[in-house]
Structure 1
Amino acid sequence: MRSLAVSLAASLLANVANASPTKKATAPFLTSIGNQTWVIGNDVWNMTQGPQFGVKLYYKDHDCVGDAWGHYVSYNGAADNLVWTSASIVKNGKYKGVPFIDIQFTSDVGDMHWVIFEGQHGAYQYFVNHNLPTLGEFRTLWRLDNTTFPKGRTVDKDGTLPPLSDYIAANKVQDETWLAPDGKGYITKYDWASWVREQDYYGVYGDEFGSWYINPGKDYYNGNQLKQELMVHRESSTGDAVQLNMVHGTHFMVSSADVFPDGKMWGPWLWYLNDGSKPDAAARAKEEFAAWPYAWLDDEAYHARGKVSGRLVLSDGRPAAGAAVFLGDDEPTKTALDMGSTYYYTTYADERGNFEFADVRAATYGLQAWSHGGEIADVSTSLLHNGVAVATGKTTRLGTLAWAVSNRTRLFQVGDFDRYSYGFLYGGAPRQHALVASCPADLVYRVGTSKTADWCFGQTYQGNWTIEFEVAEDPAAAPARQPNLIVSLAGYSSGASSTVWANGHVIGNMTSGSPELQNDPCLYRSATAAGEWRLLEFQFDQSVLQKGLNTVTFQMTRNTTWHGFMWDSIILEW
């Protein structure tokens, strides 16, 4: 069978040089032609791989790359494209009776694998690190023919990609963002970003062809439930249809500069080709999710997995219903969103506070939990439980974990505490550039009268946002208490500073560039629900408050266009 594949591949290569092949190999194959050039594929598709770029992708006798860049792997944006120095078949086997090969392309920093089954429309891919530098961005991607793939689809957005003619140089307003030709709205690739861990399948497609990524595992991605990344877009300089697999990204984060151990594996995921049918891609995604972790992968560490279970109960006796639960670094030195060196797992507790993680790689983790809104939307504290040891084939039962909550008296709360802007005006709206500019410069919110939606999701203009609230008793006659203003930000884009007042007294500042307010690009990159979560607290003297009407004001004293504060929740307690 191997010799037959090679001979057929050789005849195929002669055709690749001129047009689509007239003969097709009957088994998956790797053929070398010249120096650092190879052809890989099977009886369904084939691709010519050069030192950097995979081009001449033939599927159904059509070149799906055309004049586009094709397939490549890079880190630090496009600054460092990997160069392949050799290629070889490292495994030749069968799974459920179907032949497959594992092709390894080597570079000086790691190995890219293509696992190709006979008859498969596409291939599984994974990357194994050996010498990547400390970095923030690492990605694989396809840049494909824009007439073959005019549309894009993620779990959040589905539609036609903007035509290249709309990217008018004079209309550029910031990175990868242009004023639309009709002057109404903007064109930006960030409108096509989406939540990483919520994806079922995503990619680019047309009436006859579809190219999709299906990532069922997701444990190799950096970050937690709030991780969002670019998925698909129009390449503004060439018009290529871009299908982006951002396996380690930073586009909506403060930072993510991670060191990776030798052997860190991203993937496998499935790159899937079809006739452009979304129902077919959805059905294939369901199959892949059910099959993960992949039994065909010959890697002991990959299959060394166990389970973790437990129950979260708040110190006031309530179950932590719906809480977000995260398995990340043990004894963490980074935020949950910034973690990315190894493997990470996310889930949500049920209505009784029970949670379970299945198929967790054997290691020791730190477990974190926080409110995801709903029945515990008032909970401003979070839980950290270190030393969660996972062993192969075992279930680590953590039992009931006690989660301490505040026992202070709450004077008011604006917005659910869930690390998102949900509930506020425009909070969680479809991604669109400059939506924050629709929020007012001045705003008054009256506790007990105003609705949550009367508070806007982001503040970007100089002005005063005031919360009016009543205090029933005379603070001067009450027992000594320490008022504490909790400000939970769903995101923050630098260049905006604010003075915080209570009844005309300055009680704090939210200052651009301060350690707790470093930039994340949420507001100027089309995000409407979250960037990187921040928690600020301002304590002040009890004498500042008075019986009757009181105010807390956020006075923005410095602003930058489309930058500012994205709100999650504001709580005053004593």
Structure 2
Amino acid sequence: MWIASVAATMALLLSSSLAHALPSRAPAGPFLQELGNETWVIGNDIWNMTQGRQYGVKLFYGGHDCVGDAVGHYVSYNGAQSDLNWTSASIEKEGTYRDTQYIDVKFVAREGDMHWVIFSGLAGAYQYFVNRDLPVLGEFRTLWRLDNATFTHGKTGLHDEALPPLSDYRPENKVQDETWLKPDGSGGYLTKYDLTDWIRTQTYYGVYGEQFGSWYINAGKDYYNGNHLKQELMVHRESKTGDAVQLNMIHGTHFQVSAVDEFPEGKMWGPWLWYLNDGSREDAAQRAIDEFVTWPYAWFEDEAYQRRGSVRGQLRLSDGRPATHAAVFLGDNGGNKTALDMGSDYYYTGYADAEGRFEFRNVRAATYGLQAWSNGSETADVTTEYRRKDVVVTAGETTDLETMTWRVSDKTKIFQVGDFDRTSDGFAHGGAPYEHGLVEKCPADLHFTAGVSLTEDWCFGQSKRGSWFISFSLEKSPPPLPEAGHAQSKGSNSHSYSTGVSSRVWANDVVIGNLTSGTAPGLLNDPSLYRSATTAGEWRYFEFPFDAGTVLRKGVNEIRFEVTSNTTWRGFMWDSVVLEW
């Protein structure tokens, strides 16, 4: 190890077949050394890593190899099917920032370049990737797979717990993708998806033990795909080898129908900070605070990265109300992708204040599309969304969109179950900690009376065969329309959907629609419900118009969601159900 004495260094390095090629003493600052045979060593006076054609196979820090028998560091896309192969390495830039020396080391692959910005005295490095020829893809990631005896715990914003021992992953107990019955006979499940977290709100995460910690701090998040509700894997136990996994899913699809994107040449992910310490979560949290304060990084001399401006405005609903606490999103300027599915360029998320005002700061100079939707609270009844194209952001300037009118429905609402906020919050089990199979606690049959039942009487997910009823009363029959038959009612609902479940939608004794794969346009599989999600998935909106005068009547009526066929753990995760005419 190059951070102690020469004797200690040689004792550690002689255990490697590459020991004879390494220098006899540590370089004074950040360095890149080529060992030949497509192998390099990078680091500084605190840590160093041996990088091969695919994997960073040795990571020495504090007198210890943190990789051990694990795989190490690598970059890949579309799962583990395509690991990048590094063909060369060089110091692209070296300089000084605030009297501290640094180098920018570039590893070159056919698909693009992985950079490590190494500062003297920093335990870790800033990393970023620049696209050259990545294919159209869904998953793109960098990650560490580290020694499981050294890194025993995983930490995210929602989780802080010991990683399960490899012995708990018994083949005979496997029930689905990366999910096993616990061997203790409790009936509980063991799955990496329970350790999922929200991308846009995470501050720091990683794996740690009694003496060592390895952390990712992504202060800037504009390079991620998706919107406010983008959720992804961050830490877990590798079920085949037992490696402790620290996953940097910078373009992910684990909880979406699809997020397949084509990237422009030069698209940059990062920089983010990979940070090493003695396992202290408090130290990592403080480092994250420092990183967020200094983002975007002044030391990063990239013209496009530094060219940033601001956007502000105010959203007011067409009925006169402010769009209180609405979710606001800057994304692609056009196209038919949802905000969650966007991912080829750069994206910004935020929330309006009580008066509907919002501001995005440090936005890359470009032209964007603006979207907004209800985040619950005072706008929980708003079923529409706001869209505006051609929002131009100019470097060094503030684009003021002033007051914008958001058109809301002018129909008469008969009832609403749950807030329109694209989440299951408020329902039974909605928003619970990630837990595999939680939907099994929701009933097969459910009766809800509008105006009487509470929101929590509705369950967050429907999976079992049976019927969920919403009873409601009308004081009079629907009014006739001039020169037409009867008023048209519109039943609408919003949720995520996992294939394998079919549902018929009834108004009284008339089928007004169905929800099943293969028959409803765009009703494709979203794995969220069977991958431990309890709050959100791929949000989708469905309307079922019907002739109210023929179907509805004065007195008690019913809307019914009947599951006619099912698959365990699959089905619907609810956001809201509304009936209006």
The 5 A counterparts of 1:309-328 are 309-328=312-331
SS state of the match for residue 276, structure 2? Answer: strand
Identity %: 64
**Aligned pair in 2 of structure 1 residues 477, 73: CA closer, same or farther (>3 Å)?**
closer
Runs of 4+ residues over 4 Å off in structure 1: 11-15, 19-23, 476-480
Q: Which residue is equivalent to 1:64?
A: 66
| 2:410 matches 1:407 | yes
Shift of 1:14: 8.5
Question: What is the alpha-carbon distance in structure 1 between the residues aligned to residue 179 and residue 309 of structure 2?
Answer: 45
> How far apart, CA to CA, are the structure 1 residues paired with 2:238 and 2:152?
12
Distance 1:263 1:325 in 2: 27
1:24 positional shift = 3.8
Give SS of 1:116's match: strand
Tell me the amino acid that sits aligned with residue 515 of structure 1.
P
- 8 Å CA contact 1:332–1:366 kept in 2: the answer is no
Q: Which residue of structure 2 lines up, in the alignment, with residue 570 of structure 1?
A: 577
1:528 to 528, 534, 537: 534
Tell me the alpha carbon deviations over residues 426-457 of structure 1, each in whole angstroms, 9 at most, x when there is no partner. Answer: 00100011101111100000112111111000
Q: 2:505 aligns with which of 482, 500, 523?
A: 500
Distance (Å, rounded) in 2 between the aligned partners of 1:503 and 1:107: 61
1:101 is paired with a residue of what secondary structure? Answer: strand
Q: Give me the whole-angstrom Cα distance separating, in 2, the residues matched to 1:64 and 1:547.
A: 72
- CA shift digits 1:386-405 (9 cap, x unpaired): 00011111111101111000
TM-score after normalising by structure 1: 0.96
CA distance in 2, matches of 1:28, 1:60: 16
How far residue 476 of structure 1 moved from its aligned partner, in angstroms, is 5.7
Shift of 1:474: 2.5
Structure 1 residue 477: Cα displacement: 6.8
SS where residue 531 of structure 2 aligns? coil
Q: How does 1:433-452 map to 2 (within 5 A)?
A: 433-452=436-455
Of 517, 520, 523, which residue of structure 1 is paired with 2:523? 517
TM alignment of 1:169-568, pairs within 5 A: 169-183=171-185, 184-475=187-478, 480-489=486-495, 491-513=496-518, 514-543=520-549, 544-568=551-575
Question: For residues 16-27 of structure 1, what are the structure 2 equivalents within 5 Å?
Answer: 16-18=13-15, 24-27=26-29
1:236 and 1:530, CA in 2 relative to 1: closer, same or farther beyond 3 A?
same
What are the ranges of 5 or more consecutive residues in structure 2 without an aligned counterpart? none
Once the two structures are superposed, what CA deviation does each residue of 1:460-516 show, in whole Å capped at 9, x if it has no partner? 011000001111223267884221101111x11111111100111111111223323
Amino acid of the structure 2 residue aligned with 1:482: Q
Q: Is the 8 A contact 1:368 1:385 kept in 2?
A: yes
TM-superposition CA deviations, 1:69-96 (whole Å, max 9, x none): 0000000100000000000001110011
Aligned AA (1:303):
Q
| 1:24-47 deviation digits (Å, cap 9, x = unpaired) | 432000001021101110111111
| Partner-residue secondary structure (3-state), 1:540 | strand
Give the drift of 1:350: 0.4
Displacement after TM superposition at 1:294 (Å): 0.8
Q: In structure 2, what residue type is equivalent to 1:521? A: P
Paired residue type of 2:580:
E
Question: Conserved in 2, the CA contact under 8 Å of 1:258 and 1:341?
Answer: yes
Alpha-carbon distance in 2 for matches of 1:477, 1:127: 62
3-state secondary structure, aligned to 1:524: helix
Counterpart amino acid of residue 80 in structure 1: S
CA drift at 1:547 = 1.0
What is the rounded CA distance, in whole Å, between the counterparts of 1:363 and 1:495 in structure 2?
42
Aligned to 2:529, what secondary structure does the other structure show?
A: coil
Distance 2:548 2:569 in 1: 36
CA contact (8 A) 2:479 2:487 kept: no
Amino acid at match of 1:531: G
Given residue 190 of structure 1, which amino acid in structure 2 is its aligned partner?
Y
* Alpha-carbon displacement from aligned partner over 1:496-553 (angstroms, at most 9, x marks no partner): 1111001111111112233231111011100000110000001100121111111000
Shift of 1:257: 1.1
Secondary structure (helix, strand or coil) at the match of 1:216 reads coil
The answer to whether the 8 Å contact 1:499/1:508 transfers is: yes
Count of residue pairs brought into register by the alignment: 568
Q: 8 Å contact 1:16–1:56 — kept in the other structure? A: no
* Letter aligned with residue 331 of structure 1: G
Q: State the superposition RMSD in angstroms.
A: 1.8
> Does the Cα contact within 8 Å between 2:480 and 2:487 map onto a contact in 1?
no
Residues 51-72 of structure 1 deviation map (CA, whole Å, 9 limit, x = unaligned): 0000210110011000000000
Q: 1:13, 1:39 within 8 Å by CA — same for their partners in 2? A: no
Structure 1 unaligned blocks of 5 or more: none
The answer on whether the counterparts of 2:211 and 2:278 sit within 8 Å (CA) in structure 1 is: yes
Q: Secondary structure at the match of 1:342?
A: coil
How many angstroms apart in 1 are the aligned matches of 2:313 and 2:11? 60
Once the two structures are superposed, what CA deviation does each residue of 1:171-194 show, in whole Å capped at 9, x if it has no partner? 000111001002321000000111
| Mapped contact 1:229–1:251 kept (Cα < 8 A) | yes
Does 2:109 correspond to 1:107? yes
